[in-house]
Structures are given as C-alpha cells and as structure tokens.
Amino acid sequence: MRGDQRARELGAFLQARRRALRPSAAGFPGDEAYRRTTGLRREEVAELAYISVNFYTRIEQGRRSASEGVLNAIADALCLNDQERKYVIELSQQFGASDHEYPLEEVPRPVYRTMLEATGMPPTLVIGRRMDVLGWNQAFTRLGFDFAQVPPAERNIVWLAFVNEEYRSLQVYPVDGGRAAVGILRREYSMTPWSASLKELVDNLSARSEEFRRCWSEHTVAF
C-alpha cells in the first residue's frame, strides 16, 4: 500500500536523524567513543519522548502510525529543526492521501512565461516540483550556462548538480548546492512515493553518482 510507503519513509527519516544525533546533544553524558552504536539508541529516544520502546520501534520500522503529539515529542527528542519537524508531521498526515502521478510534462504557468520574456529581469529560473528546469531567461544564460545545450531529460537541478561537470564547475559551493537540491527532492519523493518518474530519476542518479547516493542516504529534507 502506498500509505505504507510513506510510513517507511517516515521511519527511515527518524532512524537517520537518530543515528546522526550525538548523545551529548540530547542530554546523555558519557564517553561517546565507548558506545556500541552511533547516535542515540531507540531506548533513549523513547525515554525522551515518554513512550515505550516497542511503540517507538514500530514507528521507526514503518509499522505504526502516531498522533501529532507523539511525533512532536519524538521531534523534541531528536532535536529536529523547524523544517524537519514540519516534514515529520506533514508526512504522517499523508498516509491516507489520494494517489496521483505527475502529468507527463510540467510547463510554466503563463505568468512565469511572461516574466521570463520580460526585458530587464535578473537571471531567473522556473523549477518544477521534482526540480526540473521548466524555463529560464537570457540573463541566466549570460551567466555562463545554457540549458538549451542540455538534453531535455537532463534539465534537472539535482542531475546537473551531481552529474553535469560543466554546471558543477560554475557553482561556488557545488556540494552544498547539491545537498540542498537533494533535500527538496527527498521531500517531494516522500510525499509522492508512487511516482514512477521520481523513482526513475532517483534510480538514475544513484547509478551515476556516489556523492548523490551518500546525500540521499542521509534523508536530509528542505522546503
């Protein structure tokens, strides 16, 4: 079931944040070098969130839903930032949402096309929901990168950030930019786990870039 897919995404995110959190940051003293696992233990998260270990374990395994109050308590335990907390609540509310696939082709709204054609505009891009580049103006092209020279299937910010060497060479901080783009893509992927087009994009990126695979496995999200 697709709701189960969202539950698994939520569980995987919580697990990634748990493993990335230093125990001292969560209020657990001691020498972290002697801990058998990285990050917090499930028992410690459950203790901080005032729930049973079994309950938390089932949430993390994608086998149990939870109320917003419980999820906020878990977010507190894991020291989630505002965006991460919003993502947890948003994803949990999507369990029963209706399913749909993206249209075969996203196109810029008329107002955006007018903006791109206007003279005197600064460098501008129009980005779709899965980070596809839907349009750009001549001012952006003058920065040194022409999307018209890129195959349409590769006009995607995440693809360019991890695979296209010309695009990467123009970025001051290509790793940071790529990581931010992955965060946006991860959120969209989690909200629509049935999307064949998104799955294909992630699979192709994973096959082409070890750096992307590493960023994707971190379950970072951005809005």
Is 220 a residue whose pLDDT tops 60? yes
Q: How far, in Å, CA of 169 to CA of 167, rounded?
A: 5
Q: At what angle do helices 174-191 and 2-20 cross, to 10 degrees?
A: 140
Please measure the distance between the N-terminal and C-terminal CA atoms of the chain and give it in whole angstroms: 26
Provide CB contacts within 8 A for 205, sequence distance 6+.
158, 159, 162, 163, 212, 216
Q: How far, in Å, CA of 120 to CA of 12, rounded?
A: 46
Write out pLDDT tens, residues 36-95. Answer: 778 999 999 999 999 999 999 999 999 888 999 999 999 999 999 999 999 999 888 865
The token duo for 120 is 């005197």
Q: What is the pTM of this model?
A: 0.81
Is 201 a residue whose pLDDT tops 80? yes
Write out pLDDT tens, residues 89-120. Answer: 988 886 544 445 445 467 778 888 888 888 88
Q: How far, in Å, CA of 66 to CA of 79, rounded?
A: 18
pLDDT-derived band of residue 33, with 50, 70 and 90 as boundaries?
low
Rounded to 5°, the CA angle 52-57-61 comes to: 155
Residue 1's pLDDT is what? 44
Q: How far, in Å, CA of 117 to CA of 76, rounded?
A: 47
Residue 97's pLDDT is what? 47
30 burial (CB, 10 Å; 0-12 / 13-18 / 19+) is exposed
Q: Across the chain, what does the average pLDDT equal?
A: 87
